[in-house]
Protein backbone atom coordinates (compact mmCIF):
# COMPACT_ATOMS: atom_id res chain seq x y z
CA UNK A 1 0.00 0.00 0.00
CA UNK A 2 1.31 3.48 -0.83
CA UNK A 3 0.57 6.20 1.70
CA UNK A 4 1.31 9.88 1.23
CA UNK A 5 1.38 11.76 4.54
CA UNK A 6 1.53 15.53 4.46
CA UNK A 7 3.76 17.07 7.09
CA UNK A 8 4.19 20.85 6.85
CA UNK A 9 7.77 20.52 8.12
CA UNK A 10 8.89 17.65 5.89
CA UNK A 11 6.77 17.98 2.74
CA UNK A 12 5.29 14.92 1.10
CA UNK A 13 6.95 11.57 1.75
CA UNK A 14 5.35 8.58 0.04
CA UNK A 15 6.12 5.39 1.87
CA UNK A 16 5.18 1.74 1.73
CA UNK A 17 3.52 -0.14 4.52
CA UNK A 18 2.97 -3.85 4.98
CA UNK A 19 -0.60 -4.93 5.66
CA UNK A 20 -1.03 -7.60 8.32
CA UNK A 21 -4.54 -8.50 7.15
CA UNK A 22 -4.57 -11.93 5.47
CA UNK A 23 -4.36 -11.61 1.68
CA UNK A 24 -7.66 -13.42 1.10
CA UNK A 25 -9.42 -10.69 3.13
CA UNK A 26 -7.72 -7.84 1.21
CA UNK A 27 -7.77 -9.16 -2.35
CA UNK A 28 -11.04 -10.09 -4.05
CA UNK A 29 -11.34 -13.61 -5.43
CA UNK A 30 -11.88 -12.26 -8.94
CA UNK A 31 -8.28 -11.62 -10.01
CA UNK A 32 -8.81 -10.73 -13.66
CA UNK A 33 -10.18 -7.68 -15.39
CA UNK A 34 -11.12 -7.31 -19.02
CA UNK A 35 -8.25 -4.83 -19.51
CA UNK A 36 -5.89 -7.64 -18.31
CA UNK A 37 -3.94 -5.38 -15.93
CA UNK A 38 -1.84 -7.44 -13.51
CA UNK A 39 -0.80 -4.70 -11.09
CA UNK A 40 1.43 -1.64 -10.95
CA UNK A 41 4.84 -1.68 -12.60
CA UNK A 42 6.43 1.72 -12.13
CA UNK A 43 5.44 4.89 -10.30
CA UNK A 44 6.80 8.34 -11.09
CA UNK A 45 6.59 10.83 -8.24
CA UNK A 46 7.14 14.55 -8.89
CA UNK A 47 9.25 16.11 -6.13
CA UNK A 48 10.94 19.44 -5.66
CA UNK A 49 13.74 18.15 -3.40
CA UNK A 50 15.27 14.93 -4.71
CA UNK A 51 18.09 14.90 -2.15
CA UNK A 52 15.71 14.80 0.81
CA UNK A 53 13.50 12.09 -0.70
CA UNK A 54 16.56 10.04 -1.66
CA UNK A 55 17.80 10.29 1.91
CA UNK A 56 14.44 9.04 3.30
CA UNK A 57 14.29 6.03 0.99
CA UNK A 58 18.00 5.22 1.25
CA UNK A 59 17.68 5.04 5.01
CA UNK A 60 14.59 2.80 4.93
CA UNK A 61 15.74 0.53 2.07
CA UNK A 62 19.42 0.55 3.04
CA UNK A 63 20.26 1.29 -0.59
CA UNK A 64 21.18 4.58 -2.25
CA UNK A 65 19.09 4.00 -5.36
CA UNK A 66 20.20 4.84 -8.87
CA UNK A 67 20.27 8.06 -10.84
CA UNK A 68 17.05 8.56 -12.82
CA UNK A 69 17.45 10.70 -15.93
CA UNK A 70 13.96 11.05 -17.37
CA UNK A 71 14.44 12.71 -20.77
CA UNK A 72 10.72 12.21 -21.51
CA UNK A 73 9.89 14.56 -18.60
CA UNK A 74 12.98 16.80 -18.74
CA UNK A 75 13.63 15.66 -15.18
CA UNK A 76 16.27 14.02 -13.01
CA UNK A 77 16.13 12.24 -9.71
CA UNK A 78 16.50 8.95 -7.88
CA UNK A 79 15.20 5.48 -8.80
CA UNK A 80 14.49 2.77 -6.27
CA UNK A 81 13.55 -0.83 -7.02
CA UNK A 82 11.15 -2.09 -4.37
CA UNK A 83 10.19 -5.70 -5.02
CA UNK A 84 8.82 -5.89 -8.57
CA UNK A 85 8.14 -2.14 -8.64
CA UNK A 86 10.20 0.84 -9.79
CA UNK A 87 9.82 4.22 -8.12
CA UNK A 88 11.25 7.32 -9.79
CA UNK A 89 11.37 10.44 -7.60
CA UNK A 90 12.12 13.21 -10.07
CA UNK A 91 12.34 16.99 -10.19
CA UNK A 92 12.11 19.15 -13.31
CA UNK A 93 15.37 20.25 -14.93
CA UNK A 94 13.70 23.38 -16.29
CA UNK A 95 10.45 25.34 -16.31
CA UNK A 96 9.64 23.58 -19.62
CA UNK A 97 9.24 20.20 -17.90
CA UNK A 98 5.63 19.00 -17.52
CA UNK A 99 6.52 18.40 -13.87
CA UNK A 100 6.94 22.14 -13.28
CA UNK A 101 3.23 22.86 -13.80
CA UNK A 102 2.30 19.65 -11.96
CA UNK A 103 4.28 20.70 -8.88
CA UNK A 104 2.82 24.22 -8.96
CA UNK A 105 -0.73 22.85 -9.12
CA UNK A 106 -0.45 19.81 -6.86
CA UNK A 107 2.83 19.96 -4.98
CA UNK A 108 5.03 16.88 -4.63
CA UNK A 109 2.85 13.89 -5.53
CA UNK A 110 2.55 10.80 -7.74
CA UNK A 111 2.64 11.90 -11.39
CA UNK A 112 2.39 8.68 -13.42
CA UNK A 113 2.16 4.90 -13.22
CA UNK A 114 2.54 1.98 -15.60
CA UNK A 115 0.19 -0.98 -15.50
CA UNK A 116 1.58 -4.29 -16.80
CA UNK A 117 -0.96 -6.39 -18.69
CA UNK A 118 -1.27 -10.09 -19.34
CA UNK A 119 -1.70 -9.33 -23.04
CA UNK A 120 1.48 -7.27 -23.31
CA UNK A 121 -0.62 -4.36 -24.61
CA UNK A 122 1.28 -1.07 -24.32
CA UNK A 123 0.34 2.59 -24.55
CA UNK A 124 -1.31 5.41 -22.63
CA UNK A 125 -4.82 5.22 -21.23
CA UNK A 126 -7.29 7.86 -22.35
CA UNK A 127 -6.64 10.82 -19.98
CA UNK A 128 -10.29 11.84 -20.16
CA UNK A 129 -11.13 8.57 -18.43
CA UNK A 130 -8.37 8.63 -15.78
CA UNK A 131 -9.31 11.90 -14.06
CA UNK A 132 -6.02 13.43 -15.15
CA UNK A 133 -3.82 10.59 -13.96
CA UNK A 134 -0.93 9.73 -16.29
CA UNK A 135 -1.49 6.00 -16.61
CA UNK A 136 -0.23 3.69 -19.31
CA UNK A 137 -0.27 0.00 -20.09
CA UNK A 138 3.21 -1.48 -20.13
Go through the domains of the chain in sequence order and give each one's CATH number.
Answer: 37-137 (3.10.180.10)
* pLDDT tens sequence across 109-130: 999 999 998 888 889 999 888 8
Rounded Cα–Cα distance for residues 73 and 88 (Å): 11
Q: What is the pTM of this model?
A: 0.77
Dmax over CA atoms of the chain, in Å, equals 46
pLDDT one-digit tens code per residue, 26-71: 776 666 777 788 889 999 999 999 999 999 999 889 999 999 999 9
Classify strands 6-7 and 11-12 as parallel, antiparallel or unpaired.
Answer: antiparallel
C-alpha dist (Å) from residue 105 to 42, 83, 98, 102, 108? 23, 31, 11, 5, 9
Task: Kindly indicate the confidence band of residue 7, based on its pLDDT and cuts at 50, 70 and 90.
Answer: low
Contact predicate 114/41, CB 8 Å: yes
Amino acid sequence: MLSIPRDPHRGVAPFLIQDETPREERIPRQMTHRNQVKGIGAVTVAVDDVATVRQWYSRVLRASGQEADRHDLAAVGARFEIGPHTFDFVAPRSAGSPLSDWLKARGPSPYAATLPTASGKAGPLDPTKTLGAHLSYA
